[in-house]
Structure 1
Amino acid sequence: MQILPFYMVCDESGSMAGEGVDNINSALPELHQEISTNPSVADKTRFALIGFSTQASVLQPLADLSELTQLPSLSAGGVTSFGDAFRLLKKTIEKDVTDLKAEGHDVYRPVVFFLSDGIPTDEGWQTDLEELNSFRYAPKIIAFGVSDADTATITEVANFKAFIQQERTVSPAMALREFASSLTRSIVNSATNMSAQGGEGFQLQVDEHVPGFTSLSLDKL
């Protein structure tokens, strides 16, 4: 089979407590329902959920969503260690892609949807990001910043697309739900495109514009 792995990497630091994690948690069942009930989408995609704060952890290992009854919930506490998230992501992707290939699947480059509402509290996270971006299964990263996220940091994390919340026009709660909706649409549309192309000339289908967010340029001098 041809498989496209998606990873949702979500900030679980203390600043996400309350409405932050609540809104993501309320959106996860909708994502699960949308993907798991569409066989042509579920067959071609795999989904994993990683949370990070002081440390990062795999909350949901990479799986076919049609084989799960529900997704785990996020919880908030601790600080914001970007480096730990990138180290765990690299380790997890390497194992997942290796396992899928061993099962005989054709695996497309993984896609990461990264969400944070703040500024990294650890030093040296850029080194961990560079190592993630330079290894053989380096993912395409779409980064979203909400609330107090720093525009320059979100731009640096992304290597495919970056978005920052429009604070004056949308609430953090609405922005978080739009983030989850964009992830769902990307999974569905990418799998649909894969089916239409028969695996030939497949292109990742990610929103150019997400309601409540400003798209950031990734051009670097």
Structure 2
Amino acid sequence: MGVEVLPCYVVCDVSSSMGEHVDELNAGLREFRGALHADPAAATLVRVCVIGFAAEPRVVQPLVTAADLAELPGPAAEAGTNYGPAFALLRSTVEHDVRGLKGLRLRVRRPVVFFASDGRPTDRATWSAAFAAFADPDWAARPTVVAYGLGAADHTTLGEIGTRGSYCHRGVRVGTALTSAVATTAARTDHI
């Protein structure tokens, strides 16, 4: 049957307003890395990619094992929080990664995305079209998404993004939410 892989994408707002939250996000990434390290089966299964976005998105770290997971850089000087380009980059990154993993003859589970932001999309008029393409039910690699709101995040918008639910940081720590999102997805056995 081959080795199974669960791709996990941690997509974080790193706009200038995130200054007070980057330490919390990095602590969550460390907690998540520790939880996977403590569970050898999960450590073997999960691969993690980190994407940061502000006015423009960028891959901070390509898909790696949790042991190699890096932390987020400090917030960008950019004030924009553009969701649309983040979802467009995320879709192309997932497609590229799934193709590569399948090329290695690995069995790929449906990916999971952990989307964290403290703000409202500054591309209000256009982000939903990019999200609709990303969440297209006909896309075989369509990930499940858990949204996580920090600070004054727009929880209505995050609720639209979170296909598997959303969290508010006041109730659940980043690491706990991320670990739970991955564990819930790992318990399912749907492959693409």
Q: TM-score range by the shorter chain?
A: 0.7 to 0.9
Task: Identify if the C-alpha distance between structure 1 residues 126 and 64 changes in structure 2 by more than 3 Å, giving closer, same or farther.
Answer: same
Q: Which residue of 167, 182, 186 maps to 1:187? A: 182
Separation (CA, whole Å) in 1 of partners of 2:30 and 2:55 = 26
SS state of the match for residue 21, structure 2?
helix
Task: Identify if the C-alpha distance between structure 1 residues 60 and 40 changes in structure 2 by more than 3 Å, giving closer, same or farther.
Answer: same
Alignment of 1:70-219 (within 5 A): 70-77=69-76, 78=78, 79-122=80-123, 123-134=125-136, 135-165=139-169, 170=170, 178-188=173-183, 191=186, 193=187, 202=189
Does the 8 Å CA contact 1:25/1:74 hold for their aligned counterparts?
no
Does the 8 Å CA contact 2:110/2:144 hold for their aligned counterparts?
yes
Alpha-carbon distance, 1:3 to partner = 1.3
Does 1 or 2 have the higher relative contact order (CA < 8 Å, sep 6+)?
2
Does the 8 Å CA contact 1:4/1:46 hold for their aligned counterparts?
yes
Separation (CA, whole Å) in 2 of partners of 1:30 and 1:107 = 24
Does the 8 Å CA contact 1:32/1:71 hold for their aligned counterparts?
no
Alpha-carbon distance, 1:26 to partner = 2.8
Structure-2-length-normalised TM-score: 0.86
- Structure 2: segments with no counterpart, 5+ residues: none
SS state of the match for residue 43, structure 1?
helix
1:43 is matched with 44
Does the 8 Å CA contact 2:118/2:149 hold for their aligned counterparts?
yes
- Structure 1: segments with no counterpart, 5+ residues: 194-200, 204-221
Separation (CA, whole Å) in 2 of partners of 1:65 and 1:146 = 23
Task: Identify if the C-alpha distance between structure 1 residues 127 and 188 changes in structure 2 by more than 3 Å, giving closer, same or farther.
Answer: closer
Alpha-carbon distance, 1:190 to partner = 5.1
Separation (CA, whole Å) in 1 of partners of 2:142 and 2:184 = 22
Task: Identify if the C-alpha distance between structure 1 residues 151 and 186 changes in structure 2 by more than 3 Å, giving closer, same or farther.
Answer: closer
Does the 8 Å CA contact 1:49/1:60 hold for their aligned counterparts?
yes
Higher gyration radius (CA): 1
Which stretch of the first structure deviates more once superposed, 133-142 or 123-132?
133-142
For 1:184, the aligned partner's letter is T
Cα distance per residue 1:59-83 (max 9 Å; x no partner): 11111223x2x51323213110101
Structure 1: 4+ residue segments shifted above 4 A: 188-191
Q: Percent identity?
A: 33
Separation (CA, whole Å) in 1 of partners of 2:58 and 2:182 = 22
Structure-1-length-normalised TM-score: 0.75
Separation (CA, whole Å) in 2 of partners of 1:189 and 1:81 = 28
Report how many aligned residue pairs link the two structures: 183
